[in-house]
Structure 1
Amino acid sequence: MSVWEPKNLLSPCLLLLLGERPDHGYELVRRLRPLGIVDGDTSTVYRTLRSLERHGCLCSDWAPSGTGPARRVYRLTAKGRAELLSWLGTLEETRRRLDYYLRRLAPLVADRAEVLGGGSADRHAGGTQR
């Protein structure tokens, strides 16, 4: 079971991408993939966009498409920018806690890798050398 849930990062990732530039849903889905957020369920992205818009973090307008029907283009609002900044503090704190955890875990993982025949690559990944 994985405790890490990338879907919990969907809102801040959408705010980040829209802070970089306004965009439509399909393109946002494409831009989320390198962040490891979208796993094929694009409906979650659209629900989250609508929720962020209802809460005043985004606004949207219909824009003509060069090929096909008009597309809804989302833009970050001032409230959305403030929300993005609040995520910065939250994510920095999460990173601090994860770094602390990983520092404590590294010696345990290195010891286990050595017992199982792990090589020097394990020690270079942050483990300890005996």
Structure 2
Amino acid sequence: MAPVIRPEGEGLSRSYVRPCLLLLLAEGPSHGYELLEQVRQAGVRNADAGGLYRTLRAMEQAGWVSSWWEPSQAGPARRSYMLSDEGRDALVESLEAMREVHRMLGAMLDRYDVVAPAEVSPASVASR
């Protein structure tokens, strides 16, 4: 029997960092460390600072975000980020793609519910 693949608490794939950042910045400007914490809270628990800053830099080069340095009372200046109009367009495209994935997964789960043995409930699978 093939092993069951589970994320073991890893959360969402790192591929969700970019759409997550777009969404967070649509809510308002923020700085890198705060964004990292929010990305992790949103479910990308294995997000790392280096990858996040590389993604923000790529998003800035693409014109999706702008950044500036803000002085800090408690230490060095912090770079803050804000979503651009192009970034808002990228967010809409990302969310449309995620809605399609959601639709496909929902259809697959509906089919699973038809063929799944009665003793295998979602709660019993989650507890394994």
TM range (shorter): 0.7 to 0.9
Matches within 5 A, 1:28-107: 28-39=35-46, 41-107=48-114
Shift of 1:41: 2.1
| Partner deviation per Cα, 1:92-127 (whole Å, 9 max, x = no partner) | 111110100111122444x0x62xxx5xxx2789xx
Amino acid at match of 2:94: W
State the TM-score, normalized to the length of structure 2: 0.81
Amino acid at match of 2:26: G
Amino acid at match of 1:61: W
State the TM-score, normalized to the length of structure 1: 0.80
Question: Aligned with 2:76: secondary structure?
Answer: coil
Question: Aligned with 2:16: secondary structure?
Answer: helix
Q: Percent of aligned pairs with the same residue?
A: 39
Larger strand proportion of the pair: 2
Which whole-Å CA distance do the structure 1 matches of 2:23 and 2:31 have between them? 14
Larger helix proportion of the pair: 1
Q: Which has the larger radius of gyration?
A: 1
Paired residues in the alignment total: 117
Query: Which is further off, 59-68 or 30-39?
Result: 30-39
Which whole-Å CA distance do the structure 1 matches of 2:80 and 2:115 have between them? 48
Contact in 1 for aligned 2:67/2:81 (Cα 8 Å): yes
Contact in 1 for aligned 2:69/2:80 (Cα 8 Å): yes
Which whole-Å CA distance do the structure 2 matches of 1:57 and 1:40 have between them? 20
Question: Aligned with 1:70: secondary structure?
Answer: strand
The gaps in structure 2 that reach 5 residues or longer are none
The gaps in structure 1 that reach 5 residues or longer are 126-130
What is the RMSD computed on CA atoms of the aligned residues? 2.4
